[in-house]
Chain A
């Protein structure tokens, strides 16, 4: 299972909205919402772009567990 810290990072990063993050990585706001809720797992390219927005490594944003 893949979980992520995007919602937390958005609020820590100056209350960034889903729309702002979506515009920066080139997807829709609904896709960001689906990623945050764990209903859609982004491509590797999108995951790297999201991590780059927060100036973090991909492992700091996305976590994988076997459970």
Chain B
């Protein structure tokens, strides 16, 4: 498995687990309790940064040469294709959020809905990268 593919796996798994816990907590706490939501979000962002930095540093230690090398043409193509797919997902998600926004949901749900779209799109991008790396392996 190449270093770039490992990075995609780290991104996919860490975001799925950490944001999964966050969104579960949002869904089970009353929307009026915005202090709890803010604390949970802060903890999530810090945890995600810590976990990703630790795992990516670990992966780089096992393959230092690949970690230092710039993306080659195949890797750039994979990144571009994945970003294009994710953009389509982002556009669809934002359009859906605009429609649901007319139902006048609580602010906490509205902002978390947008965050959910961003996280989902990032997961889509990582998953797309992994699929393309596997297909050409």
Q: Which residue of A lies closest to B70 (CB)?
A: A26
A30 at the interface (CB under 8 A from B): yes
Query: In the complex, A40→B72 CA distance in Å?
Result: 13
* Size of interface on B: residues with Cβ below 8 Å to A: 12
B73/A39 in contact, CB under 8 A:
no
How far is the CB of B130 from the nearest CB of chain A, in Å? 13
Chain A residues with Cβ below 8 Å from B103 are none
Closest chain B CB from A62 CB (angstroms) = 15
* Complex interface: chain A residues within 8 A of B73 (CB): 27, 31, 42-43, 46
Contact A30 B2 (CB under 8 A): yes
> In the complex the two chains form, what is the Cα distance from A13 to B72 in whole Å?
24
Interface centre among A40, A42, A43 (most CB of B within 10 A): A40
Give me the interface of B with A, judged by CB distance under 8 Å.
2, 4, 66, 69, 72-75, 133, 135-137
